[in-house]
Amino acid sequence: MNQAKHIAIIMDGNGRWAELQGLKRVKGHEAGAKVVKEITTYCSQSQDIERLTLYAFSTENWKRPRLEVEFLMKLLNNYLKKELPSYLDLNVRFEPIGDLGAFSKSLQKTIQNVKEKTAHCDGLVQSLALNYGAQDEILRAINKIKECESPVTEVMFSNALDCKQNVDLLIRTGGDHRLSNFLLWQAAYAELHFCNTLWPDFTIKQLEAIIQDFEQVERRFGGLK
Ligand code: FPP
């Protein structure tokens, strides 16, 4: 049976969820943040799941209206500050990935604080992808190792990436069937699951069903049965 040790999620559909209810798009992000907490809590209690990587803000999301970007920054800042005690209670280590230098100094400080305060936690790793794009991550990795004199190996390259663990199961909510520049290297052998549910409606029950299906899939990694 497969184990979904590393689950990655593209949390799409917040804006549409809000618009469908006649609310402003940002209300969808607020509702989405609640689901982040529920899913993280669930994963932290699972015996099998080691890492949960969530696509919270992409390198392309800066193109959104200024007010929406500002709202997302504030939401993230508040979320991390408010939830620090629950990271500790659940023994969850927070490991952000992405190019954090683009954020305001105060948001960088909050991110760094949660990372440091949870560094000793040895349960689930919750990794938020923040100002993250896989192409950017790959370029940054190449620049880190380009002076290396010996030929670059898969392990060396992988260790130069922000996220060093391959993804087992990649889920995208919101109905689109694409990877949108998320974990392109790490998802090389991931099972992909696309669902129409909008992120704020995504439930633990759905996640359990997706994991159960994943456990039955035969993964050959390019080999034979
Ligand atoms: C995609 O929905 C979602 C995002 C760009 C941001 C994800 C953010 C959250 C889930 C909430 C904040 C997270 C944390 C950790 C506090 P969309 O806006 O593209 O939705 P749409 O496709 O319906 O427009």
Site to probe by mutation for ligand 1, drawn from 14, 38, 59 as the one with most ligand atoms within 8 Å of Cβ, is 14
Residue 96 inside a domain? The answer is: yes
Question: How many domains would you assign to the chain?
Answer: 1
Structure confidence at residue 219 (pLDDT): 74
Is 118 a member of any domain? yes
Is 153 part of any domain? no
Residue 222 is assigned to a structural domain of this protein: no
Domain that holds residue 101: 6-132+165-216
Q: What is the pLDDT of residue 221?
A: 77
Residue 127 lies in a domain: yes
| 51 CA distance to ligand 1 middle (Å) | 20
What confidence score (pLDDT) does residue 174 get? 98
- In this structure, the residue with its CA closest to atom 14 of ligand 1 is 33
Q: Report how far Cα 76 is from the mean position of its chain's Cα atoms.
A: 13
Region of 222 please: left (phi>0), alpha (psi -120 to 50) or beta.
left
Q: Whose CA is nearest to atom 12 of ligand 1?
A: 33
Question: Pocket residues for ligand 1 (CB within 6 Å)?
Answer: 11-16, 29, 32-33, 36, 56, 61, 75-76, 79, 128, 174, 199
Residue 140 belongs to a domain: no
Radius of gyration of the chain (CA): 17
Residue 59: give its domain's CATH number: 3.40.1180.10
- Which ligand 1 atom sits closest to the C-alpha of 80? 16
Is residue 61 part of the annotated active site? The answer reads yes
pLDDT < 50 positions in the chain: none
145 C-alpha to ligand 1 centroid (Å): 33
Assess if residue 143 is contained within a domain: no
Spatial contact of 127 and 96, defined as CB atoms under 8 Å apart: yes
Helix locations, the chain, DSSP H: 14-20, 25-44, 66-89, 105-117, 134-145, 154-160, 204-216
Catalytic residue among 2, 61, 77, 113: 61
pTM here is 0.96
- Whole-number Å distance, alpha carbon 14 to ligand 1 midpoint, is 5
- pLDDT for residue 30: 98
pLDDT of residue 153: 94
